[in-house]
Amino acid sequence: MGILFDASDDNVTINTQIARQSTANWSISIWYKGTDGTLNGDFGKTLLGRNNGDIFANLVIRSGLFEFIHFNGAWAHNVTSLTSVIDNKFHHLLIANSANATANLYVDGVREATAQSTAISNSSFPYRIDGFMVGFNSQFTGGVIDEITIWDDFLNDSEASILGKSRIRGVSLMVRPSSINSYWQLNDGSDGVTATGSNTVWNRKGTNHGTPNNSPKWISDTAMSYQ
Ligand SMILES: [Ca+2]
Ligand SMILES: [Ca+2]
């Protein structure tokens, strides 16, 4: 079970903004299936992030590549996957950011960017997550997402491999469970039914639940598979 977004206006808003500095340990894991290859200038199409003119970072798909965009005097495009992820098959996407302000990126458990700077030139504007599948400049991302996890820790290669290759639902909960900030399993509806209602996108770690906007749809496992 995941959620399908129409690239027109569908998105999810979370209750409380999550902000993370480049100089902290954190990791984010998400499954994505889609074909949204829009460049959108420096900004791409956002998976987890913020839709506002004050952004200094977002986690995106840009021209088909998984990327962490960040502003460090200019928009930097160094934290980017090698593999295109818009072939309409499920891909596991992971960023592991280290407190030394560098990150590794993984696609399907394989490291594709290593120790790339994630520096942001103004610490008052860290990477901020207001929700899923919308970002600057009111660009809505199309496709299916599933199993979103945020850790306040720097995951390593073997953990990335477990997450990306096991294809087991809920495996996130077995990887550094005490460091998980948020886990949206996206199992909260029925196939083909519109996702609607406050807090219906349930966060299994705490109360930072999500609210769907503009009618994305729940998609059951029978309508999709992990590659
Ligand atoms: Ca799910
Ligand atoms: Ca819609």
pLDDT, residue 227, reads: 43
Return the domain boundaries, the chain: 18-188
pLDDT, residue 223, reads: 56
Q: Please, which residues bridge with residue 34 across strands?
A: none
Q: How far is the CA of 175 from the centre of ligand 1 (A)?
A: 17
Decide: pTM greater than 0.95: yes
Q: Which ligand is nearest to the CA of 1?
A: 1
Q: Which residue ranges in the chain fall short of pLDDT 70?
A: 222-227
pLDDT, residue 51, reads: 98
DSSP track, 97-161: EETTTEEEEEETTEEEEEEEE---S-TTS-EEEEEESEETTTEEPEEEEEEEEEESS---HHHHH
Token digits of residue 194 = 């519109």
pLDDT, residue 224, reads: 54
Q: How far is the CA of 2 from the centre of ligand 1 (A)?
A: 5
pLDDT, residue 165, reads: 85
d(C-alpha 145, C-alpha 11), whole Å: 11
Q: How far is the CA of 97 from the centre of ligand 1 (A)?
A: 24
Q: Does residue 77 contact residue 69 with C-beta atoms inside 8 Å?
A: yes
Q: Does residue 142 contact residue 6 with C-beta atoms inside 8 Å?
A: yes
Q: Which ligand is nearest to the CA of 196?
A: 2
Domain 18-188 is of which CATH architecture? Sandwich (2.60)
